């Protein structure tokens, strides 16, 4: 299970990511729409390209992407195939990752930026950079839905 614990700080958003108690990487927000991280010493950037598209960049180019079908459903293309990211409840800050119609992973938010870690139960057979890409997608969606982000979007428009 991946756990992302937010590092203290007002202006720079970053998360320490651990798996089974050992540190894996740091997800460092470049802004509210992208995260930079490294997996196995390779740098990656997960970017919300538009409001309806995410992409995972590495030195070789784009290695995974996702497109929005509706505001509660995204489809991701990874080496594991086509995956569906679904928000099953409007009331909970939970997302499910589905493959062939069955849930294979769950992403859960804890206490909106509080000290508790966000968690992701993503299967180990997926490469680490793809698991982190999906986790950063969900973190981006949570950040963009936060009251501070909504106020910023209203002010800047």
DSSP 16-81: EEEETTEEEEEEEEEETTEEEEEETTEEEEEEEEETTEEEEEETTEEEEEEEEEETTEEEEEETTE
Neighbours of 92 (CB within 10 A): 10
* Every domain of the chain and the residues it spans: 2-146
How far apart CA 84 and CA 99 sit, in angstroms, is 6
Length reported for the chain: 157
- 157 residues of the chain, pLDDT tens digit each: 898 988 887 778 899 999 989 999 999 998 889 999 999 999 999 999 999 999 999 999 999 999 999 989 999 999 989 999 999 987 778 999 999 999 999 998 875 555 557 889 988 889 999 999 999 999 998 888 766 544 444 444 4
Where does 2-146 sit in CATH, by number? 3.20.90.10
Helices and strands (H, E) in the chain, number of each type: 2, 12
Per-residue confidence (pLDDT) for residue 147, from 0 to 100: 60
List the one residue out of 89, 101, 69, 85 whose CA is nearest residue 135. 85
H/E run at residue 150: helix 147-156
Whole-model pTM: value is 0.86
How far apart CA 98 and CA 120 sit, in angstroms, is 13
Contact present, 44 and 37 (Cβ < 8 Å)? yes
């Amino acid at each position: 299970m991946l756990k992302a614990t937010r590092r203290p700080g007002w202006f720079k958003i970053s998360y320490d990511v651990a798996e089974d108690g050992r540190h894996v990487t740091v997800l460092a927000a470049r802004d509210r729409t992208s995260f930079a991280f490294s997996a196995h010493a390779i740098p990656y950037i997960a970017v919300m390209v538009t409001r309806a598209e995410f992409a995972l960049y590495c030195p070789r180019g784009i290695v995974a992407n996702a497109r929005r079908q509706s505001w509660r459903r995204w489809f991701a293309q990874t080496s594991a195939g086509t995956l569906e990211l679904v928000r099953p409840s409007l009331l909970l800050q939970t997302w499910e990752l589905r493959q062939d119609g069955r849930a294979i992973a769950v992403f859960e938010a804890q206490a909106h930026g509080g000290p508790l870690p966000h968690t992701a139960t993503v299967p180990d057979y997926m490469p680490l950079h793809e698991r982190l890409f999906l986790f950063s997608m969900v973190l981006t969606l949570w950040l963009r839905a936060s009251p501070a982000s909504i106020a910023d979007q209203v002010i800047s428009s």
